[in-house]
Chain A
Amino acid sequence: MRDNVTTLTQDQAMPQPVMIETAPGDDIILDVAAACCRFDVSAPALSRLFSHEPRRILRAVENVSFTVKRGTTFSIVGESGCGKSTLARMVVGLQRPTEGKLSFRDIRRADGTIGPPRVQMIFQDPYASLNPRWRVGDIIAEPIRELKLRSDEAAVQQRVGDLLETVGLSRTDASRYPHAFSGGQRQRISIARALATEADFLVCDEPTSALDVSVQAQILNLMVRLQKEFGLTYLFISHNLSVVRHMSDDLAIMYLGRFVEAGPAEQVFTKPQHPYTRLLLDTIPDVERPNRERRPMSGEVPSPISPPAGCTFNPRCAQAANRCRVVRPELRKLGGVEVSCHFA
Chain B
Amino acid sequence: MTASAAQPLLSVRDLRIVFDGRHGPLTALDGVSFDIAPGEILGMVGESGAGKSLTGTAVIGLLEPPGRIAGGEIHLAGQRIDNLPAEQMRRLRGRRIGAIFQDPLTSLHPLLKVGDQLVETILTHLPVSRAEARKRALDLLKEVGIPAAETRIDHFPHQFSGGMRQRVVIALALCAEPSLIIADEPTTALDVSIQAQITTLLKRLCREHGTAIMLVTHDMGVIAETADRVAVMYAGRIVEIGPVEEVTRRPSHPYTAGLMASIPSVHVRHEHLNQIDGAMPRLNAIPPGCAFNPRCGRAEAFCRENKPGLPLSGHAAACHFPLKEAAHA
Contact = CB atoms under 8 A, between A and B. Distances in A.
B267 A182 contact: no
A242 B263 contact: yes
Contacts of A239: 191-192
A296 interface: yes
Interface in A232-285: 239, 241-243, 245-246, 265-266, 269, 279-281, 283-285
Interface stretch (A11-19, A63-71, A215-223): A215-223
Interface string B178-198: 000000000000011111110
Interface in B20-47: 47
Nearest to A248: B269
Given A287-B221, A287-B248, A294-B196, A214 B47 contact: yes
B266 A80 contact: no
Interface stretch (B89-97, B109-117, B273-281, B301-309): B273-281
A285 B219 contact: yes
A2 interface: no
A288 interface: yes
A291 B245 contact: yes
Contacts of A301: 191
A296 B161 CA distance: 17
Contacts of A184: 279
User: Which of A242, A243, A246, A297 lies at the interface centre, i.e. has the most chain B CB atoms within 10 A of its CB?
Assistant: A246
A200 to B, nearest CB: 23
B248 A297 contact: no
Contact of A213 (B163, B197, B263, B270): B263
Contact of B267 (A280, A288, A297): A288
A214 B262 contact: yes
B139 interface: no
A292 B225 contact: yes
Contact of B193 (A79, A218, A221, A287): A79
A284 B192 contact: yes
B193 A283 contact: yes
A281 B266 contact: yes
Contact of B273 (A221, A266, A296): A221
B284 interface: no
A249 to B, nearest CB: 10
Interface string A290-307: 111010111011000000
A265 B269 CA distance: 10
Given A245-B265, A285-B225, A213 B161 contact: no
Contacts of B276: 214, 217
Contact of B266 (A241, A291, A300): A241
B296 interface: no
Contacts of A183: 48
B328 interface: no
Contacts of A217: 262-264, 273-276
A254 B260 CA distance: 29
Contacts of A292: 225
A290 B244 contact: yes
A287 B275 contact: no
Nearest to B228: A291
Interface in A296-329: 296-298, 300-301
Contact-size category for B:
35 or more
A298 B164 CA distance: 12
A164 to B, nearest CB: 17
Contact of B264 (A182, A220, A289): A220
Given A285-B199, A296-B197, A290 B192 contact: no
Contacts of B224: 285-287, 289-291
A221 B274 CA distance: 9
B213 to A, nearest CB: 14
A212 B218 contact: yes
A8 interface: no
Contact of B265 (A212, A279, A283, A288): A288
Interface string A127-162: 000000000000000000000000000000000000
A80 B248 contact: no
Contacts of B200: 294, 296
A243 B263 CA distance: 8
Contacts of A224: 272
B275 A286 contact: no
B258 interface: yes
Contacts of A79: 191-194
Contacts of A266: 269
A266 B265 CA distance: 13
A214 B191 CA distance: 21
Interface in B213-263: 218-222, 224-226, 228, 244-245, 248-249, 258-260, 262-263
User: Which of B220, B225, B259 lies at the interface centre, i.e. has the most chain A CB atoms within 10 A of its CB?
Assistant: B225
Contacts of A288: 248, 265, 267
12 contacts: A213-B47, A214-B262, A217-B276, A241-B266, A242-B263, A243-B264, A285-B192, A287-B263, A291-B225, A291-B245, A296-B193, A300-B161
Across the A-B interface, give the 4 residue pairs with the lowest CB-CB distance, nearest first: A285-B221, A217-B262, A296-B196, A246-B264
Interface of A: 79-80, 182-185, 212-218, 220-221, 224, 239, 241-243, 245-246, 265-266, 269, 279-281, 283-292, 294, 296-298, 300-301
